[in-house]
A and B are shown apart, each in its own frame.
Chain A
Amino acid sequence: MAFKENSTAPAVRVDDEDGQAVLRLSGDWVVNRLTECEAALVGASSGKGSLHLDLSSLEGLDTSGAWVIHRYRGSQEFDGRRVVIDGMDANQQTLFHELELHHPAAFKPDRPRYSLADFLEGWGRVTVEAGRDGLAMLHILGSLGTVLAATLIQPKRLRSVSAAVQFDRTCIGAVPIILLMSFLIGVIISQQGGFYLRQFGADLYVVDLAGVLVLREIGVILTAIMVAGRSGSAITAELGAMRMREEVDALHVIGLRVTEVLILPRVLALMLAVPILTFLSDMASLFGSGLVAWAYLDIAPQPFLDRLQATVTMQTFFVGLVKAPFMALIVGLIASVEGLKVEGSTESLGKRTTLAVVKAIFLVIVVDGIFAVFFAAIGV
């Protein structure tokens, strides 16, 4: 009965019959006219005597309209008036009867919270949450350790197919974008560095700049960030969706360890993929910077390579590469932890995926800083 296309406006006519107020309701009391229904009744009658609601000239009535009438009746009775409703047909009577059976509780508007307390509570929650996060990561790391140990004893327990599929997605699928991005970064470093160094006539130092910067830091960080955005989010979303659909619970009940079945293959694939991608990223960046050096600074490939060989040692190369598995571990762990924290709603899935990527990128940079301090301390 809702949304009658040619509905007539609800109206109330107030008559006075023998000292008794009579409200004659007419028109369509239906859901698309609700505001008018409410307005029609407001202040319709404010006497003290008994009240008579006549519904016989109603054209349409649905639950929403009936509720407005019913509520008006309740409020009038609360004011101490006797209210009689009549003129209903059998269906309307049933409708009012149903309403009476399922009377909603009185409306209580939400009270806004005190903002300072809210603010402090928010910070408290964030702090506790951060602590729990750390614990959860340690938990998964520990459980990953035991699972890894078990797999070393019984190599059959490694889900090799699953790991291979994950490797295909995280590594091989990422090659084109990593190559392209790194190539462009190499181009930019070389061009920007060259622009300033040329003013001092120190063009050739572009090779040092690009070589050291790319191999030690940029290659691995960029790769880790790209992998966090690409594969970390995918892992969180996959695990999260599995949690929402109780698939993770099903694994538990069947007696499989989530760490072994879901997390280990993904983390292993990542730890294998990120070093490879880092190497490719290094090469693409150097290629890009070599091209710019040639075109923009007139350093031919042969002198570029000679200079590179002189300044960049294997140590520089490995300082970058050795960080890669750690970055992969961080991305994998955070993605898994966040994925398993997803609750029932789609909103939490989105939130966890965002958090996974943000935390992973943040931690990748923090860990890179820690490595820098460490390498400085041991004099590398």
Chain B
Amino acid sequence: MQDLVSTDQNNASAPEAGSSGGENSAILSVRDVTVGFGPKIILDKLDLDVRQGEILGFVGGSGTGKSVLMRTILGLTRKRKGTIRVFGKDMDTASEEELAIIHKRWGVLFQQGALFSSLTVKQNIQVPMREHLKISQRLMDELAILKLELVGLSADAADKFPSELSGGMIKRAALARALALDPDLVFLDEPTSGLDPIGAAAFDSLIGKLSRTLGLTVYMVTHDLDSLASVCDRIAVLGDKKVLAIGTLDDMMKNDHPWIESYFRGERALRRV
């Protein structure tokens, strides 16, 4: 992985890519992480660094553990060994207060949205605000609508319940909730799957814009080659229980690993990229 060159425009001072460097600028670093269920090992001694301000696209075949890795980083799945550092804090040894701050500084978009079904969209977006901030109802309402508009939903969706929304609208509402506290790091699990191409493109450009203007770091699990090509600064490929390769799209195009080759240079990919 040492030969991969960073093209991260946002962070010119970022050290060389690779698992050994980047401790300081890495907003998220995963070291030697092993996850397994019963006798089955899903991730084996996996290393990964996500740099401050970058958009990292994560790809891998179905069942290779992309979601498991994301859930492990989020602390939802137990790991057997290894360390995960988020914002420079080790998740295992962080105190309650440090964890509380980490929870305020990241936002997560789950694959199915995971909106609270008994709350309206507006209330959903306000859940983190209500919990972590002491601000007036007026300001919360304004910010909730602002976030909704930012992600491309109209204000009249605010008072609807998640069950009344279409799949694409759920994705957007969930993103609005993930962005409620202006997080530094967002995790997106297949954000554009199930969106029409125009909506997906708008979603991508929104992510790009947020990342540039707010210095948002994005960890995005996706299979959308358009997203990978248009907004991702770097792409990581998961396979054989570890990160097979990490680098720019150009690096991926040059990689000889059979899976990576068929993914990025297969018939379907060549038609699009």
Interface residues of chain A, those whose CB is within 8 Å of chain B, are: 1-3, 5, 30-32, 34-35, 38, 62-64, 67-68, 71, 91-92, 94-95, 98-99, 101-105, 107, 109, 244, 343-348
Contacts and interface: CB of A to CB of B under 8 A. Distances in A.
Contacts of B139: 34, 38, 68
B138 to A, nearest CB: 5
A355 to B, nearest CB: 16
What secondary structure prevails in chain B residues at the interface with A? Answer: helix
Contact of B213 (A3, A71, A94, A102): A94
A62 B135 contact: no
Interface in B110-163: 116-118, 132-139, 141-143, 145-150, 155, 161-163
B133 A71 contact: no
B78 interface: no
Given A95-B214, A99-B146, A3 B155 contact: no
Given A30-B182, A103-B149, 19 more contacts: A1-B182, A1-B184, A2-B105, A5-B101, A31-B182, A34-B139, A35-B133, A38-B135, A62-B182, A64-B143, A67-B143, A68-B139, A94-B213, A103-B146, A104-B141, A104-B145, A105-B155, A107-B141, A244-B163
Interface of B: 101, 104-105, 116-118, 132-139, 141-143, 145-150, 155, 161-164, 179, 181-184, 209, 212-215
A102 B210 CA distance: 14
10 contacts: A2-B184, A3-B101, A30-B182, A35-B134, A63-B147, A64-B182, A91-B214, A102-B150, A109-B137, A346-B116
A63 B150 contact: yes
Contacts of B105: 2-3
Contacts of B214: 1, 62-63, 91, 95
Nearest to A95: B213
A35 B135 CA distance: 6
Contact of B181 (A3, A5, A94): A3
Contacts of A343: 163
Contacts of B145: 104-105
A2 B217 CA distance: 12
Given A2-B184, A34-B133, A344-B163, A94 B212 contact: yes
